[in-house]
Structure 1
């Protein structure tokens, strides 16, 4: 291992591949709340996080596991679930008094049309102001699950109608 006066030991979370500190600093200097989108194998998590000197505070959160309460019967880890989770998050954020946020995708690969940007599209469609480019958002057929219904019609035949019904149920929560 290198040593000496010019050797710099990287931060632990950077060394572990968990945090990009340059990107985090740019997000924190904006002084706007962050829309943090994280995906796991089974669910999508969207949170509104404020940065303070004591640490980050989560103000609003939405999980794709909660979509069952709004009538969604599909998988909770796909693009339509990400869209509906983003929409649910934006409704809760607007009800809590937040009108804008900055997207934070962490170390997730930035793939145009991906699940992370599906959550962004749901938040924007529900009225939250998040700066973005239109070219990264997934198409309407992916948002509604038409690509899944075409691939596996026996499992997801009514997914398109189900997504629309769940979206209407979520928008009724907006005060």
Structure 2
């Protein structure tokens, strides 16, 4: 006759939907740096993290708020901002002596063309060696904001003010987003990160 229960309470971070311990265990075995891309509604954080027995060690970190300091006027969590934050993190990682990593998307579903893969593409374009399949990367016109510019060009002035009020308030015409994207990417290249 069995007594008690076979029920096991999951770890707190798993219950909160923050950590996939099975995936983390597989990554810990690889003994390599992880490129961690986390996208919220308002911001993006891209980090290079090493797993250590005493706890994770963050080597470098880039936040979409840093793009504002470089003059970024676009959204801080759109596909372009995720790419630029990944690019910035990649540059910082190379300066810190990190040359390769693996992508850690946490509990997010690996959806082709998602923002997380824009962050990956940014880090790869910065010079980091990260294995990935080309099919998961968002299209170039989404990364550089051309799709936003094309959409904005199709709107009349009233609709433009309605849909892009934040861009306009910061002084950015949505049709200028691709040029602004390249300008900020060049500033990241010139900055000593």
The answer, yes or no, to whether TM exceeds 0.5 is: yes
C-alpha contact (below 8 Å) 1:71/1:165 kept by paired residues:
no
Q: Which 10-residue stretch deviates more, 132-141 or 163-172?
A: 163-172
Deviates more, 1:90-99 or 1:7-16: 7-16
Count of residues in correspondence between the two structures: 173
Counterpart for residue 63 of structure 1:
63
Tell me how far apart the structure 1 counterparts of residues 62 and 106 of structure 2 sit (CA, whole Å): 17
User: Secondary structure at the residue paired with 1:32?
Assistant: coil
Q: Secondary structure at 2:91's aligned position in 1? A: helix
CA contact under 8 A between 1:36 and 1:103: conserved in structure 2? Answer: yes
* TM-score calculated relative to the size of structure 1: 0.92
| TM, length-normalised to structure 2 | 0.84
Q: Which residue of 1 aligns with 2:167?
A: none
Distance 1:6 1:158 in 2: 60
1:51 aligns with 2:51: yes
2:177 aligned residue (159, 163, 171) = 159
Which runs of 5 or more structure 1 residues have no equivalent in the other structure? none
1:94 aligns with 2:112: no
Aligned to 2:112: 112
Mapping for residues 120-159 of structure 1, pairs under 5 Å: 120-153=120-153, 154=160, 155=164, 156-159=174-177
Instruction: Say which SS state the counterpart of residue 51 (structure 2) adopts.
Output: strand
- Higher alpha-carbon deviation: 124-133 or 67-76: 67-76
Taking only aligned residues, the RMSD between alpha carbons, in angstroms, comes to: 1.6
Q: Which runs of 4+ in 1 moved over 6 A?
A: none
Instruction: Check whether the contact 1:95–1:174 (CA below 8 A) recurs between aligned residues.
Output: no
- Give CA-to-partner distance per residue, 1:26-51, whole Å, 9 cap, x none: 11111001111101101110011111
- Higher alpha-carbon deviation: 65-74 or 34-43: 65-74
Displacement of 1:9 after TM fit? 2.6
Question: Which protein is bigger by CA-based radius of gyration?
Answer: 2
Task: Give the corresponding residue for 2:16.
Answer: 16
Deviation, structure 1 residue 146: 1.3
Unaligned stretches of 5+ residues in structure 2 = 154-159, 165-173
Match in the other structure for 1:36? 36
Is residue 47–residue 89 contact of structure 1 (8 Å, CA) maintained in 2? yes
